[in-house]
Amino acid sequence: MKTIKDIQLLKGVKVLVRADFNVPVKNDVVVDDYRIQATLPTINFLREKGAKVILISHLEASDGSNGSLSPVAKQLKKLGQEVVFIENWKNANNIIENEMKDGGCVLLENLRYFDGEKANDTKFSKELASLADIYVNDAFSVSHRAHASVVGVTKYLSSYAGLQLEKEIGNLSKVFNPAHPFLFILGGAKFETKLPLLEKFMDIADFVFVGGALATDIFKEKGYEIGKSLVSKGDFDLLRFANNPKLLLPLDLSNQNREIKPVNGLNKEDQSMDSGPETLELLKQKVSGAKFILWNGPLGVYEKGFKDNTLKLAKMIAEATSNGTETIVGGGDTLAAIAENGDQGKFTFVSTGGGAMLEFLAKGTLPGIEVLNNS
């Protein structure tokens, strides 16, 4: 796969960069700019070489609708990037051709305002390609999507990986040949998206801890009463993992009022909201003995405020990193916990991907990576 470091001449070259600026915004202000900062090395590399950088991205508002990238443009400027925000795409070609200087940078408005983006429409892909001479994908977290700005545009431009995409592939690939003991911590919900990881890493890891709502799914299949706890939809035949000595499950659960032993069952009105203190002690023991840790997903219902033990786990893994353990973490709520602790720089690698991380770990590649390999 070619990266931007392989491009011989960049001065005056128009470079279309697919970035991931899908960041949380509140009151028109970016509240977590980790993904923006992750793209800065690629932007700076291109600008310092004299390229004309054209940034494209999408952004979803908190209600799931498409939101303006205007707050991202403001945040880029706060981070030292002189960037022109092009709100109206009709003006893009004129500004790029007639107003951009070598080393200049523009940001176009949200890609998903156009139906052709998610549909991977040929016409829209060609429109994107018409803006530039070269295409760069630096958006790992959307590279599992066969969208126009990820896959379609590569048919019409010479295409390269950005520095962040290269880092994501290199670091996440370490998981396929890790140091041992290897501890894999898998939390959150939606077994339909995480089952492939359990199937794959039950063979590779020394221990696989399953927490969050995923653990409730296994308890249910083992015949335990789970009350009103969240479970995934579907039949995943989880009993095939239940007796594997590598599998670790929560020793205790926490609801709003008390600690519960899963083996004793919950009351029918109970809802498991977090792991309990005995579970945290088990994790502390396994984390301290591991040489390689992969973590994706919270231990509790993070979005409803049940995050104490997830935050404590983040601190444990950060401390293990300082003691020489290789640690790779990712996932939306996982990143939120790290940010809340102020521990972003205390892990070997923090992936910008959520679903993309899960799919890459399961398959070893993504549609957005495959087209670069074949370009």
Q: Tell me the catalytic residues.
A: 35, 190, 332, 355
Question: Terminus-to-terminus CA distance in the chain, angstroms?
Answer: 8
The CA distance from 180 to 170, in Å, is 19
Q: Dig out the tokens for 196 from the structure.
A: 């492939």
Contact yes or no for 38/164 (Cβ under 8 A): yes
Spatial distance between the Cα atoms of 196 and 79, rounded to a whole number of angstroms: 38
Token code pair at residue 234: 């579907």
Q: Residue ranges of the alpha helices (H) in the chain?
A: 34-48, 70-78, 92-98, 115-118, 122-129, 163-172, 191-204, 212-221, 239-242, 277-289, 308-322, 332-341, 355-363, 367-373
Query: 291: which 2 tokens?
Result: 């040489």
* DSSP SS3 for 175: helix
* Contact between residue 109 and residue 134 where contact means Cβ atoms under 8 Å apart: no
Which helix H or strand E contains 293, and what residues bound it? Answer: strand 292-296
- What's the 3-state SS for 15-41? EEEECCCCCCEECCEECCCHHHHHHHH
Strand 52-56, strand 105-108: pairing = parallel
Three-class SS state of 350? strand
**Structure tokens given for 106:** 């523009």
Angle between helices 277-289 and 308-322 (to 10 degrees): 20
Question: What is the Rg, in whole angstroms, of the alpha carbon atoms belonging to the chain?
Answer: 22
- Nearest Cα to Cα of residue 315 among 288, 352, 276, 351: 288
**Kind of pairing, strands 274-275 and 292-296?**
unpaired
